[in-house]
Chains A and B, each alone.
Chain A
């Protein structure tokens, strides 16, 4: 089991550019979560999916953020246009259900200059 795989590991982009973060969950996990971590706010849930369907996107900061899960093995988080305040570490996690706990990816460190 390769775990939750995120790409890229690091992303540096200029303000106004589109950024796409990618995640491959663990096979068989029905739930996929996107979190953002900053020094000021800690870990925040952005959105989560169950069986590829978005269930709760109340944590998505604004319309510049969008997430998709076209199939059980792939999800994207897109920011368009990006702003410096979006700089953070973005984590993807997957689970078979809350009872079984969560497995996190290594994260994508995003820097918007």
Chain B
């Protein structure tokens, strides 16, 4: 069964700092990986979707990379802002299945 791990579980950084969130998965037979953001008491907002054939995706200050062979993805946030404070979840789509396997999330706090 696919296991998805996110480290660290919580991260606190001062405003303006660049940061990296990590996601690892045990089964490399994935077709894509999706990063989501969840604000407290809210739903999941999709940030970036990386197909298994891709190495990275960028959107504004966000850059996500994927190394399928090593079972790792990173989400890089440049010049962090207090508005970036949220929980970030990664989820993998596994070949042969139509559902997502979620990590437990990293709770990010950006201090003004």
Count A-B contacts at CB 8 Å.
54
Contact A99 B44 (CB under 8 A): no
Contact B93 A98 (CB under 8 A): yes
A contact residues around B31 at 8 Å (CB):
98-99
Count of A residues near B, CB < 8 Å?
A: 24
Interface string of B22-43 (1 = CB under 8 A from A): 0000000001101010000111
Interface centre among B42, B91, B93 (most CB of A within 10 A): B93
Main secondary structure of the interface of B (DSSP, over half): strand
A42, A48, A105: the one contacting B99 at CB < 8 Å is A48
Assembly CA distance A31 to B93 (angstroms): 14
A81: min CB distance to chain B, Å: 27
Evaluate whether A45 and B43 lie within 8 angstroms (CB atoms) in the complex, with A99-B51, A101-B34 already known: no
Count of B residues near A, CB < 8 Å?
A: 23
One of B12-20, B58-66, B71-79, B100-108 at the interface: B100-108
B41, B44, B91, B98: the one contacting A48 at CB < 8 Å is B98
Please tell me if A18 contacts chain B, counting CB pairs below 8 Å: no
Q: Which residues of B contact A (CB under 8 A)?
A: 31-32, 34, 36, 41-46, 49, 51, 89, 91, 93, 97-100, 102-105
